[in-house]
Amino acid sequence: MADSAFRFDLRHTDPSTKARVGTIHTRRGAIHTPVFMPVGTQASVKTVEPCEVAATGASIILANTYHLMLRPGVELIREAGGVHRFMQWTGPILTDSGGFQVFSLGQNVRISEEGAVFQSHHDGSRWAVTPERAIELQAGYGSDIMMAFDHLVGYPAERKHVAEAMHRTHRWLDRCIARAALGDLEPTQGVVFGIVQGGMFPDLRAESAAAIGGADVAGCAIGGLSVGEPKDIMAEFIDITTPHLPETKPRYLMGVGSPEDLWNGVAQGIDMFDCVLPTRLARNAALFTPDGRITIKSSRFRHEHGPLDPTCDCHTCRTYSTAYLHHLYRTGEILGMKLGTIHNIRFLVRQMEHMRSAIVSGTFASDRRAFLDRYQIAGKSRLE
């Protein structure tokens, strides 16, 4: 039986943009939106413990169906009492269906109406995932939000292939919903979110959004963006998509997590985001500041004995100096990655907290402008 506690309450809408504040209620706690979800692909947010993730203020994390299916396997996770108990995370967990990972396998995957057959990127073993199996796996993990299995086509792509994949995604969603509705899965079975596809074709995006928004799903995700297209194209297609999605369901933009994209996405009416970016950057010595990303290994930080960001309340900034972080990264100490990850996650969580407050107080538009005016986007910044 699906989570009977699941409910989305829309509380405020910004009068000058499409920004929204709401609350997603789940059996494992409330999620205040807009929200950023750190990624714990393999039941682990890399380099940090779940309690440390919780200390950043993150209320929900993402895990991945494909990776957990391969290792350690759904049976072991079920034996452990579900992924929450397995990894000791008490809050909600959203599981991506694995559609993007299957897409990323390239020539090692075969798509048919039945589903996907592919080779493991670990050992070459053959696996098959159908829409029904994707739901069964996620229910076996004890996921709170289960993403429907979708067929993603990369960018750029011919209209014919995009349309075929989009319509298959819609048919697969029907099968996901039907499988979840049987009621014979785990007692902790979560709710289903559908995924909008349609590539970079406005009419297909609108058609897909209307189909997903009208389906019997708890939320609507926007997939197939942030896959290599320019950011102005991504923004254009968010604007094309959101008017066709119901206001009463949370909207989730998949795979987006740079600070500027979070502010812009929220202005366009997005409620949920996820991305590996903050944790991956932290493992590679790139840390967020209000002025933009910095490379902490840079020699100019060697003698900086104050905090990385004096305005930040994370454990890293409250406890350690910039010079110490510089030292840790320059010497390859794992602690550096841990402290950098804590800071980067907290930085994004703080942005979401700021946005929620600004939407309620009516200052979102001016606060967004102030953030974007100050924040130097990577690639244009003089800080790196």
The residue segments making up the domain with residue 317 are 282-374
pLDDT digits (tens, 9 = 90+) for 222-234: 999 999 999 999 9
Task: Give the mean pLDDT of 45-72.
Answer: 97
By annotation, the residues acting in catalysis are 96, 274
The rounded distance, in Å, linking the Cα atoms of 29 and 27 is: 6
3-state secondary structure of 94: strand
Q: Check whether residue 255 and residue 296 sit in a common domain.
A: no
Domain boundary among 244, 274, 304: 274
Q: Check whether residue 286 and residue 269 sit in a common domain.
A: no
Please give the C-alpha separations between residue 2 and each of 98, 135, 193, in angstroms, as whole numbers.
20, 12, 12
What is the dihedral sign for C-alpha 331, 335, 338, 339? negative
Give the per-residue pLDDT at 383: 32
| Confidence label for 384 from pLDDT (cuts 50, 70 and 90) | very low
Paired with 109 in beta bridges are 118
Domain boundary among 218, 249, 274: 274
Average pLDDT, the chain: 95
- List of E strands, 42-119: 61-64, 93-96, 109-111, 116-119
384's tokens: 């790196």
Paired with 299 in beta bridges are none
325: amino acid identity, one letter: L
What is the dihedral sign for C-alpha 135, 352, 274, 14? positive
Q: Check whether residue 115 and residue 138 sit in a common domain.
A: yes
pLDDT digits (tens, 9 = 90+) for 83-113: 999 999 999 999 999 878 777 777 788 999 9
- Is the pTM for the entire model greater than 0.85? yes
Query: Is residue 313 situated within a structural domain?
Result: yes
Tally of domains within the chain: 2
pLDDT digits (tens, 9 = 90+) for 151-202: 999 899 999 999 999 999 999 999 999 999 998 987 778 999 999 999 999 9
Give the per-residue pLDDT at 218: 98
Query: Is residue 130 situated within a structural domain?
Result: yes
Query: Is residue 382 situated within a structural domain?
Result: no
The rounded distance, in Å, linking the Cα atoms of 126 and 119 is: 4
pLDDT digits (tens, 9 = 90+) for 9-23: 999 999 999 999 999
pLDDT digits (tens, 9 = 90+) for 294-347: 999 999 999 999 999 999 999 999 999 999 999 999 999 999 999 999 999 999
Range name among 71-75, 210-214, 299-303, 380-384 with the lowest pLDDT average: 380-384
Give the per-residue pLDDT at 379: 66
Q: Check whether residue 109 and residue 192 sit in a common domain.
A: yes
pLDDT at 366 over 80: yes
143's tokens: 């996921």
Please give the C-alpha separations between residue 271 and each of 61, 189, 253, 337, in angstroms, as whole numbers.
15, 23, 8, 29
The rounded distance, in Å, linking the Cα atoms of 324 and 379 is: 26
Give the per-residue pLDDT at 272: 99
Largest CA distance in the chain: 62
CB of 287 within 8 A of CB of 279?
no
Q: Check whether residue 299 and residue 186 sit in a common domain.
A: no
Element of type H or E holding 22: strand 20-26
Task: Give the mean pLDDT of 56-80.
Answer: 97
Element of type H or E holding 239: helix 231-241
Q: Is the peptide bond before 72 cis (omega within 30 degrees of 0)?
A: yes
CATH code, domain carrying 138 = 3.20.20.105
Query: Is residue 380 situated within a structural domain?
Result: no
Please give the C-alpha separations between residue 217 and each of 36, 133, 165, 337, in angstroms, as whole numbers.
21, 18, 20, 38
**Highest mean predicted confidence (pLDDT) among 113-127, 180-194, 205-219:** 205-219
Task: Give the mean pLDDT of 278-302.
Answer: 98
